[in-house]
Amino acid sequence: QKPGDRVAADEPIAQIETDKVTIDVVSPQDGVIQEYVAKEGDTVEPGTKIAVISKSTDGVAPAAPSEKKSEKAASKPSPPAETVKEDKPKAKVEVSPAVEKPKAPSPPPPKRTATEPILPPKERERRVPMTRLRKRVATRLKDSQNTFAMLTTFNEVDMTNLMKLRSDFKDAFVERHGVKLGFMSGFVKAAVSALQHQPIVNAVIDGDDIIYRDYIDISIAVGTPKGLVVPVIRDADKMNFAEIEKTINSLAKKANDGTISIDEMAGGSFTISNGGVYGSLLSTPIINPPQSAILGMHSIVSRPMVVGGNIVPRPMMYIALTYDHRLIDGREAVFFLRRIKDVVEDPRRLLLDV
């Protein structure tokens, strides 16, 4: 929206970008936008007036104050790019004499290439400010690396039985529950079982204490165009397959639409990251603070396996567990991953709790 535009009550007039989500600021009333008090790119505090809207009949009224936390208005990313473009001619003027000077003497080219590489011209580069979300992700991941003693252990899972389960019941599952049966619900259920067998993986270090959580809230890493977000499946241990699938679908849709709330990403005691949807064969996921471990899923690849003395093709997936070695010993980590493997390879274990 621009000054002079007519707006209706509850119509978005600007966007506030926080560390975690982008929030629409809506007009509190019908009227005409007189001016924007806050400029694009400004950092505003809660309660700051960001725009003035006049009613069609009487005076002037301020628009809705900014939402929680210190935030940065970012409705369109184009102005930063334009600013860069304006600066470019200046950079070009300064750089070009420096480039021409070395070219004048023809004998020293071999030396120059050895010591002074020729850089691509500045007009072939674009400088764009990092979003608040990307800066926050970068900070948290670096903090994770600096704080945790991270170690990754691997295993592989034969997906035959889980794939057969899905194939046999996919139509009946959709008809009964109105949602498709995927692999994520199987891995979430397996993770719940593994966390119940190895509760230390669900715990966290706080100073000189260990906090054991008597709940299981599983974060699901979702890559969005604006960055990585981790919505949380609350009380996953109390959910069945259908409830997990519905929750994952709902949260993933909100994450991609940019409508997910901060509350829906807060907390979480364990994370699952599925790089397999992008074709990743193997990776070492990084812990999502303040959790103590993360499970990485990968792509399913048909590989020759020895089964009962015979070599047969089987759909195999590598799985990885990165854990905080300050808290979790290798023994617990390996047992945890083995439990994931056992449950995914034979989901009947969940029915019998064995």
Of 305, 334, 272, nearest to 160 by C-alpha is 305
Which listed residue (24, 30, 325, 342) is catalytic?
Answer: 325
Confidence of residue 72 (pLDDT cuts 50, 70, 90): very low
* Same domain for 84 and 217: no
* Same domain for 216 and 165: yes
- Count structural domains, the chain: 3
Least confident piece of the model among 14-23, 112-121, 205-214, 316-325: 112-121
* Same domain for 292 and 165: yes
* Same domain for 220 and 310: yes
* Same domain for 344 and 239: yes
Mean pLDDT confidence for 296-308? 96
The pLDDT, as a whole number, for residue 212 is 97
Q: Is residue 1 part of a domain?
A: no
Per-range mean pLDDT, top range of 33-47, 109-123, 232-246: 232-246
Q: Is residue 205 part of a domain?
A: yes
Q: Domain holding 300: CATH number? A: 3.30.559.10
Domain boundary among 73, 89, 107: 73
* Same domain for 97 and 65: no
Is pLDDT above 90 for 180?
yes
Q: Is residue 281 part of a domain?
A: yes
The pLDDT, as a whole number, for residue 142 is 92
The pLDDT, as a whole number, for residue 106 is 55
Domain boundary among 73, 90, 113: 73
* Same domain for 146 and 48: no
Of 38, 126, 41, nearest to 75 by C-alpha is 41
* Same domain for 98 and 56: no
Is 5 one of the catalytic residues? no
More confident residue, 98 or 204: 204
Q: Domain containing 68: what range?
A: 6-73
183-197 and 241-257 helices, crossing angle to 10°:
110
Which listed residue (87, 143, 168, 329) is catalytic?
Answer: 329
What predicted TM-score, i.e. pTM, was given to this entire model? 0.69
Contact in structure between 27 and 8 (CB atoms under 8 Å): yes
Is 298 one of the catalytic residues? no
The pLDDT, as a whole number, for residue 77 is 43
Q: Is residue 286 part of a domain?
A: yes
Residues near 126 by beta carbon (within 8 Å), at least 6 away in sequence: 81, 84
* Same domain for 263 and 209: yes
pLDDT digits (tens, 9 = 90+) for 196-236: 999 999 999 999 999 999 999 999 998 888 778 899 999 99
Domain boundary among 58, 73, 88: 73
What are the strands, taking DSSP E only, across 212-336? 218-220, 222-224, 227-229, 232-233, 270-274, 293-297, 300-307, 310-324
More confident residue, 113 or 50: 50
Mean pLDDT confidence for 320-344? 97
* Chain position carrying tokens 């071999």: 110
Q: Is residue 160 part of a domain?
A: yes
Q: Is 124 left (phi over 0), alpha (psi -120 to 50) or beta?
A: alpha
Give whole-number Cα distances, 197 to 68, 105, 332, in Å. 39, 74, 9
The pLDDT, as a whole number, for residue 49 is 83
* Same domain for 225 and 86: no
* Same domain for 153 and 60: no
* Same domain for 272 and 209: yes
